[in-house]
Amino acid sequence: MKVLETDNSNKLMLLVARRSFVMCFVLLALLAGPYGHADDGALAIISNSKGAPEEMSISEMKDVFKGERQRWSDGTKVVIALMKTTTTIGNSTAQKLYKMSDQELNKYWLGLVFQGKAKAPKFFSSESELKDYVTETPGAIGVIGLISLGEGKSVLIDGNKSF
Amino acid sequence: MRTSVQTKIWLAIVSIVLIFASFMLVFFPAQHEKSLIKYFNQEVQNLSNTVSLGVKIALTEQNFEGVEMAMDYAKSDSRLIFASMIQLDTIWEKDSNSYKVEKIIISTYPEGFEASTEMASSDSIIVKASPFTSEIMKGQVMVGFTTKEIDKTIARIKKTSIIASFSVFLVGLLIGLVLARKISRPVLALRNAAKKVGAGDLNQQVSISSNDEIGELGAAFNIMVDELADAEDKIKKKSETLQAQNEIIEQKNHHITDSINYAQKIQEAILPPKSLIDKLFSHYFVLFEPKEIVSGDFYWISEAKGSGKLEKEEGSEMNMNSTRIVTVCDCTGHGIPGALVSMLASSVLRETVYSKGITEPAQILDSVSAALISSLNQTGESIAKDGMDAAICSIDYNPSNNNGEYKLQFSGAHNPMYLVRKESPTEVEVYKGDFRSVGFAFGQVTKFTNHELFVNKGDRIYLLSDGYIDQFGSEKAGGRIKKFTAKRLQKLLATIQKEDMEKQKSILHETIMAWMDGKDQIDDILLLGIEI
């Protein structure tokens, strides 16, 4: 940054104002940095009170969400709830959890459903709908943004609320 | 080949049963199989379409419920062999002007099934494909279903058809048995009864056990037999009556025949005896063929002395220089009427010649004619038109009277005289009779014409009635049966002059018999030939 010096007071005032603006901008940027990162990438797992455990390892979580585990230990059927890949959370879920693009995720589930290996996830357009569904459906487990995590049951992944 | 009613009924029922069985065993299963395959194809196609739609929704809306439901439905069908999801990738060539579509199977149920993009329907599998298109990918769903269930269904249908056909066959047999008994039995009973009636047993009756057409036939048969029996009784009675009448007629006929035979003897008595003719003529013949036992034709031969008086035929001395009279007469009709007239005419002729002493032929005919008219009362209102035709000639055998020749006089009533001279044997001179009869005549009665001529020894004369020349033969002219005719006789006489008189008679007889050729003789035949 280059500071311009002037001879008159107006120019001084303009300089002070400009410095103040830049300072504020830098301060806001510093404050907003950690929170903006958490909204874009941090995902949390929620589940119905029945079925899913309180905590899972990341590999267990992947097994569940890839349809490889059909039932919980209490016998309840595993029901997966995901955000549509057209949403930020859905897109993020595909990349982080499945390591797949949107299209690959769809093809993946289509293949499983086609072969009858797994029951396809229920996809939602809004997190609130997803949360309501999980709350109401026994054995349901879903992925939402960490920021949207509410009072409902969440599942810790390797001891963390998000992954 | 004779086929009984019973056999025909059986054949009809068996034919119907066979047609039905063929329909049930062949046509019906074939049609059903076609329908099953058609509907099965449609069903598989619909399922394929449903799965394809589910895939499209899943890919575009991330809603997998449709495809899940469709696949669950497909998997629950035991006929499903496989379901594959195929991705279609369009690969453009380097020149960007052409492309090819590559098919890649991305998922198949059941896992491990080796599906191919080239799979097609066959006898054992029905394969259907349905395309889908989304932003993510383009592809098609291909499903394969086994046809085993169809085969099983068809087998079940065939089994059912066989059972149904067999049942129909059994029912058919039962119906056939009942019908055959119901129809053929009364028909056979009718046949047997009819045979017996045909053999003359009119006491036959058939029992009527139904009120249908066969029952009506039986009733009609019974009525017919009753009526036949009545008719036979009537015929028997009439036959007996006729027999009795026949016997009477036979008796009467016998009497009549006896009378006629006796009449024949009487009639023969009026003919000159052969001994007399032999004395008068050395060479002659008499061809006399009456149509019936007695005849209307007769001939009369006698001798007249120079004084004009005649000697009686039998037992008289013959004067070889005397005048001899030869007559051939043809009375009206033939048989009994002709014979009666001939008896009268003969009597009148004798009376004329013997009693009246008339020797000139024309005068004789005039006199006889007058006598007949008188005898038959042909002058009154009730005129009997009987009479006779005649040819009469007298020959003066005294050569000194005529310079060595013999004088011959002839007169005829319709009938002619033929003369064949010895010096010209192929030429027949014809002397026609007058155009009137002896006895009754229409109009003014004229006198008969008397012809005079001279003949020499060896010349031959022929007198005849019309029986010979009017005889019908087998030859036809213009569709009509021909008569023998006078011309034909004249030609015949001209050709047989080399023969003696006896031979001529034989030829003339054979000729007329051949001419008749088995046909009936229509009139008495009388032909008399004399050699001077």
Task: Report the pLDDT value the prediction gives residue B365, as an integer from 0 to 100.
Answer: 93
Going by C-alpha positions, the residue among A80, A72, A59 that lies closest to residue A157 is A59
Distance from CA of B122 to the nearest CA of A (A): 24
CB contact A113 to B (< 8 Å): yes
* Rg of chain B, C-alpha, whole Å: 59
Question: Phi then psi for B334, rounded to 5 degrees?
Answer: -145, 180
Q: Cα B87 from chain centroid?
A: 93
Average pLDDT over residues B497-526: 93
Nearest residue on chain A to B110, judged by CA atoms? A115
Q: For residue B63, which residues of chain A lie inside 8 Å, CB to CB? A: 123
Neighbours of B283 (CB within 10 A): 14
Reported confidence tier of residue A60, pLDDT bands at 50, 70, 90? very high
Task: Report the pLDDT value the prediction gives residue B373, as an integer from 0 to 100.
Answer: 84
User: Are A113 and B58 inside 8 Å of each other by CB?
Assistant: yes
Reported confidence tier of residue A15, pLDDT bands at 50, 70, 90? low
User: Are A114 and B71 inside 8 Å of each other by CB?
Assistant: yes
Judge whether residue B232 has pLDDT over 60. yes
Residue range B35-45, pLDDT digits in tens: 888 999 999 99
Q: For residue A116, which residues of chain B lie inside 8 Å, CB to CB? A: 71-72, 75, 109
Report helix, strand and coil shares of chain B as percent, to nearest 5.
Answer: 45, 25, 30
Taking the CA of residue A115 as centre, how many other CA atoms within 13 Å lie in the half-sphere pointing to its CB?
Answer: 17
Residues B394 and B406 sit within 8 Å (Cβ to Cβ): no
Q: For residue B111, which residues of chain A lie inside 8 Å, CB to CB? A: 115, 117
Residue type, B82: F
Reported confidence tier of residue A65, pLDDT bands at 50, 70, 90? very high
Q: How many CB pairs under 8 A join A and B?
A: 55
Q: For residue B106, which residues of chain A lie inside 8 Å, CB to CB? A: 107, 111
Which residues, in sequence order, are CB contacts of B499 under 8 Å at separation 6+?
B507
Extract the tokens encoding A115.
Answer: 């072969």
| B417 burial via Cβ count (<10 Å: 0-12, 13-18, 19+) | buried
Extract the tokens encoding B71.
Answer: 């696949």
Rounded Cα–Cα distance for residues B402 and B398 (Å):
8
Residues B445 and B438 sit within 8 Å (Cβ to Cβ): no
Average pLDDT over residues A74-79: 94
CB contact A111 to B (< 8 Å): yes
Rounded Cα–Cα distance for residues B298 and B392 (Å):
12
Between β-strands B99-109 and B438-439, what pairing exists: parallel, antiparallel or unpaired?
Answer: unpaired
Percent of chain A with pLDDT over 70: 75
Task: Report the pLDDT value the prediction gives residue B354, as an integer from 0 to 100.
Answer: 83
Residue range B49-79, pLDDT digits in tens: 999 999 999 988 889 999 999 999 999 998 9
Rounded Cα–Cα distance for residues A70 and A97 (Å):
18
Whats the size of chain A, residue-wise?
163
Which residues, in sequence order, are CB contacts of B266 under 8 Å at separation 6+?
B343
Task: Report the pLDDT value the prediction gives residue B159, as an integer from 0 to 100.
Answer: 87
With H, G, I as helix, E, B as strand and everything else as coil, classify residue B319: coil
Integer CA distances (angstroms), B272 to A12, B325, B345, B349, B362, in order:
209, 12, 15, 13, 21
Judge whether residue B349 has pLDDT over 70. yes
Q: For residue B55, which residues of chain A lie inside 8 Å, CB to CB? A: 110, 114
For A111, the closest of B68, B107, B110 (CB atoms) is: B107
Average pLDDT over residues B91-96: 80
> Over chain A, what HEC string results?
CCCCCCCCHHHHHHHHHHHHHHHHHHHHHHHHHHHHHHHHHCEEEEECCCCCCCEECHHHHHHHHCCCCCECCCCCECEEEEECCCCHHHHHHHHHCCCCCHHHHHHHHHHHHHHCCCCCCEEECCHHHHHHHHHHCCCEEEEEEHHHCCCCCEEEECCECEC
Q: What is the DSSP string of B469-507?
A: TT-EEEEEETTEEEE--HHHHHHHHHHSTTS-HHHHHHH
Average pLDDT over residues B143-163: 86
Distance from CA of B15 to the nearest CA of A (A): 57
Please tell me the pTM assigned to this model: 0.48
Phi-psi region of B458 (alpha: psi -120 to 50; beta: other; left: phi over 0): left
Judge whether residue B164 has pLDDT over 50. yes
Quickly tell me which residue has 């005294």 as its tokens: B398
Integer CA distances (angstroms), A150 to A32, A55, A129, B209, in order:
22, 17, 13, 103
Between β-strands B406-413 and A79-83, what pairing exists: parallel, antiparallel or unpaired?
Answer: unpaired
Residues B294 and B368 sit within 8 Å (Cβ to Cβ): no
Integer CA distances (angstroms), B481 to A141, B221, B296, B440, B465, in order:
135, 52, 24, 31, 20
Q: For residue A109, which residues of chain B lie inside 8 Å, CB to CB? A: 58, 64
Judge whether residue B442 has pLDDT over 70. no
Rounded Cα–Cα distance for residues B432 and B508 (Å):
21
Rounded Cα–Cα distance for residues B336 and B334 (Å):
6
Between B440 and B315, residue with greater pLDDT = B440
Q: Which of A33-47, A85-99, B293-307 has the lowest mean pLDDT?
A: A33-47
Task: Report the pLDDT value the prediction gives residue B305, as an integer from 0 to 100.
Answer: 53
Rounded Cα–Cα distance for residues B284 and B79 (Å):
129
For B64, the closest of A103, A113, A115 (CB atoms) is: A113
Quickly tell me which residue has 């025909």 as its tokens: B8
The residue of A105, A114, A115 whose CB has the most chain B CBs within 10 angstroms, and thus the best one to mutate to test that interface, is: A114
The residue of B62, B80, B104 whose CB has the most chain A CBs within 10 angstroms, and thus the best one to mutate to test that interface, is: B62
Helix runs in B102-184, H state only: 148-179
Percent of chain B with pLDDT over 90: 42
Rounded Cα–Cα distance for residues A62 and A56 (Å):
10
Rounded Cα–Cα distance for residues B345 and B296 (Å):
10
Average pLDDT over residues B386-393: 90
| B494 burial via Cβ count (<10 Å: 0-12, 13-18, 19+) | middle
Residues B66 and B53 sit within 8 Å (Cβ to Cβ): yes
| B244 burial via Cβ count (<10 Å: 0-12, 13-18, 19+) | exposed
CB contact A17 to B (< 8 Å): no
Q: For residue A123, which residues of chain B lie inside 8 Å, CB to CB? A: 62-63
Reported confidence tier of residue A73, pLDDT bands at 50, 70, 90? very high
Q: For residue B65, which residues of chain A lie inside 8 Å, CB to CB? A: 120
Judge whether residue B313 has pLDDT over 50. no
CB contact A100 to B (< 8 Å): no
